[in-house]
Structure 1
Amino acid sequence: MVGGVLGGVLGEPLPNEQPFFVSGKNVPKLVKQVKPEYPQEAYAARMQAVVIVEAITDIYGRVSRARIISGHPVFYEEALIAVRKWLYEPYIVNGIPRPIYFTVTITFGLTSN
């Protein structure tokens, strides 16, 4: 092969590269956060919960996939809808953006006015 990079473009991750896990201070900065809606059923019942979501970001910092790790089922859908709209700074390793996965905690709490 002459004049190129076999199998891709220089500076981009390999096709179908598997994301790797990051945690704590290694999680990239959240750039855009959409707050989840409070499920009406849960609000009416005065329910509160903590939902743990595993998020996978692509090389651009977009959440490409999300799944529930734990929490109360009534909150699952709204937690996933919100997290899928979040945007992070791309995760860079040796100058190359990489897909990653990590967990996020969403707290659904009632506040009194």
Structure 2
Amino acid sequence: MKILILVLLSTFFISSCSEEIKLNRAQTKALERVNPKYPIQAARDRIEGYVKLSFDINVKGETDNIKVIDEAPEKTFRKQAVLAVSKWKYEPYVVNGNPVLQKNISVQLDFKL
């Protein structure tokens, strides 16, 4: 029964996790975004927070070089934020007919109950 309640709670919290997207490049066009999962322990403890990340978009439109640049509380949401951003897909930015690497894109993911 406890497991069922935890699954239901985590499903609720996953759907309530919001993300505030602040991309620093106009040429980024998201094709696929995966929302981060709300960590079960953070949900139990009613903890909210955010993670600011920077990343590159390679010539295939995949995220690379994902780095945490700020977070609160520390290490609570980091793993889920990085995992979600690693699954994002973008339309490659094309210059003179060739896709090019986009560096230092930044985003903030807010975790709210």
Flag whether TM exceeds 0.5 (same fold).
yes
| C-alpha displacement of 1:94 | 2.6
TM-score, normalised relative to structure 1:
0.71
Moved beyond 6 Å, runs of 4+: none
CA distance in 2, matches of 1:60, 1:51: 25
Structure 1 residue matching 2:77: 3-state secondary structure: helix
CA distance in 1, matches of 2:76, 2:27: 27
Identity of aligned residues (%): 31
1:1-113 paired onto structure 2 within 5 Å: 23-24=24-25, 26-72=26-72, 73-101=75-103, 102-110=105-113
Structure (1/2) with the larger helix percentage = 2
TM-score, normalised relative to structure 2:
0.71
The unaligned stretches of length 5 or more in structure 1 are: 1-21
Aligned residue pair count: 88
| C-alpha displacement of 1:59 | 0.3
Bigger radius of gyration among the two: 1
CA RMSD of aligned residues (A): 1.5
Quick one: which amino acid aligns to residue 91 of structure 2?
E
